[in-house]
Amino acid sequence: MSARDVGNLEGEAQQEGQGQTMNTLISVADAVVASLNDGSFSQSFTAERKYVPVFELPDMETLRVTVVPKSVSISAAARDSDFFDSAVDVGVQKKVNPDELTEIDALMNLVEEIIDHLRGKRLDALPEAAWRAIAHEPVFAPEHLDQVRQFTSVLTVTYRVRR
């Protein structure tokens, strides 16, 4: 196994001008967080990157937008480089009254705004990452509405980095 293969298995990418290695998936997740925090949306929030997006129920009165590294798929690009398709989940969560449709509709609209913000665009903080796809599943989690009165929607966004 070559040193290049070992580097690919570890999922590390060289950050420009800093002389340190950074995991490709984490770089994509951090760039998505930066993009969301620089965006303009109908509801204000501060996106955060987390590995385990678990919050205490009383804390859910505040709108939570969480970016979670999800997966990497590596495929050959050329003899000397590969494509790293890096997927991150973007979770939108907030405690709601399930009987207040306007409150839930506003959160559904926010999720669509996030889709429109990320769809088809490169990330300013990681311009070498090209947008590939967005999946929206679940559109909302009915069991969260029913059991804990919380709106939860998850987007999976995939970016491709060649390295």
Which CATH number covers residue 48? 3.30.70.1700
Whether 82 maps to a domain, the answer reads yes
Among 44-48, 52-56, 135-139, top mean pLDDT goes to 44-48
Token pair 């620089």 in the structure block, residue: 38
Q: In what order do the strands lie in the sheet with 64-78?
A: 48-49, 64-78, 81-95, 150-162, 129-136
Looking at residue 157, its pLDDT comes to: 98
Q: How far apart are the first and last CA of the chain?
A: 17
Domains: count for the chain: 1
pLDDT at 14 over 60: no
Whether 138 maps to a domain, the answer reads yes
Predicted confidence (pLDDT) per residue in 60-99, tens digit? 999 999 999 999 999 999 999 999 999 999 999 999 999 9
Whether 12 maps to a domain, the answer reads no
Range(s) of the domain holding residue 67: 23-162
The burial of 56, by beta-carbon neighbours within 10 Å (0-12 exposed, 13-18 middle, 19 or more buried), is given as exposed
